[in-house]
Structure 1
Amino acid sequence: MKDLEAADVNRPSRSQLKREDQALFVMAKKLVELSLVSLVTLKLSDQLMEAVKMASAMPANKGARKRQLKYIAGILRTLEMDVIQERLDLLNNKSAHSARELHKVEHWRARLLSEDKTALTELLDTYPEADIQYLRQLVRGAKKEMALDKPAKSARLLFRQLKGLFDETDQLS
């Protein structure tokens, strides 16, 4: 009798097993929502990759997709969850970081177009390696295009130039 009680203490409760299954199901959903490029960077097993591709091709409101997600969760149960979770978190952090970078570039472009020379001077103080002549030319062109209601070619070029400048500086540091 005591042996049975000792065995019960060592195994997880049904509630714990359900929580783990739910976590696996949520991770399966996250994997299915990722793009193919992101899935390749996660370096998943072939079996898991095929199951995820099949699930992403299925309509979201059908029972077949839910069954496929449960199948993916079953595959995940046999694999090392920690490694996959780390890669998934890293992938999410990269996308959040790139979104912040794009907001930063957009902010600087808006400042350069709306303010006088103060924004350009501040940008050059922060990034002395910037091509001042080309930046001034792009700012002038973008302001002129805005005034004449022309397509924003110079504004796009300014955005690309700023993005390249920020990326170059981030790689150096």
Structure 2
Amino acid sequence: MHEEDFTESTDRPSKTKQKEAMHELRDLGAELVELSVGQLKRIDLPENILQAVRECQKITAHGARRRQIQYLGKLMRGTDDAPIRAGLALLRGESAAETARLHRLERTRAQLLEDESSLSEIAARWPQADLQQLRQLRRNALKEQEGGKPPKNFRAIFQVLQELDREGTPPDAGE
């Protein structure tokens, strides 16, 4: 026997590392199964994985569900899991850029409620913004706050700002 027979080869990962990677993919698949249909649509999933996830969501028997999750992990071995992990991080709110963007939108909403002149800043940032709609939502949100009513229009302002930001984030906005 030669000494080189006992040295570790650096060509491929050890069997333990391979198993750990497979278990991570299986756990990632199990996490996907727990998401709602709307959340799954927000993640860019390959068709075969999406189909396997939807099938697993229908299964109620414990053993069958476990096998389907194992199968899902096997399917995920053949795909790039980085976009899936990034999508899950966005859903969980772990992305620092996404958190910063949401905080920026919340500040914009607060400025709008404090002073109507901030509409000019919104128009400069998003030229496609419907200022009349935002003005109306602002008026209604202030009335809601005064009357102690549920913040329906307050939330609607945020949704409009979020949609504007999705349509076209200005290049000078530092995220």
The TM-score with structure 1 as length reference comes to 0.62
Per the alignment, residue 157 of structure 1 pairs with 156
Q: 1:58 to 1:5 in 2, by over 3 A?
A: farther
Greater shift in the superposed pair: 140-149 or 160-169: 160-169
Question: Whose Rg is larger?
Answer: 1
- For residues 108 and 57 of structure 1, the distance between their equivalents in structure 2, rounded to whole angstroms, comes to 45
Counterparts of 1:70 and 1:134 in 2: how far apart (Å)?
A: 46
1:21-74 CA distance string (max 9 Å, x none): 12221221111011264388233469x937x828x8577xxxx69x75994598
Identity %: 25
Q: Which amino acid in 2 is paired with 1:32?
A: A
**Structure 1 residues without counterparts, runs of 5 or longer:** none
TM-aligned CA deviation for residue 84 of structure 1: 3.4
1:49 pairs with 2:58 = no
Shift of 1:93: 5.7
Q: Which has the higher helix share?
A: 1
Q: Superposition pairs for residues 107-122 of structure 1, below 5 Å?
A: 107-113=107-113, 115-122=114-121
Residue type at the aligned position of 2:144: E
Query: What is aligned with 1:86?
Result: 82
State the 1:166 CA deviation: 1.9
Q: Does structure 1 retain, via aligned residues, the 8 Å contact 2:27–2:73? A: no
Q: In the TM superposition, what are the counterparts of 1:37-76 in structure 2 within 5 Å?
A: 37=37, 38=40, 41-44=45-48, 49=52, 53=56, 68=67, 71-72=70-71, 75=74
CA contact (8 A) 1:24 1:76 kept: no
In structure 1, distance between residues paired with 2:142 and 2:165: 22
Query: Corresponding residue for 1:106?
Result: 106
SS at match of 2:81: helix
Which amino acid letter does the alignment assign opposite residue 85 of structure 2?
Answer: D
What one-letter code is carried by the residue in structure 1 that aligns with 2:15? L
Structure 2 residue ranges without an equivalent (≥5): 171-175
CA gap 1:154/1:91 in 2 versus in 1, 3 angstroms: closer
CA distance in 1, matches of 2:105, 2:134: 13
How many matched pairs? Answer: 161
The whole-number CA distance in structure 1 between the counterparts of 2:128 and 2:49 is 45
- The residue matched to 2:29 in structure 1 has which SS? helix
Provide the aligned C-alpha RMSD in A: 4.4
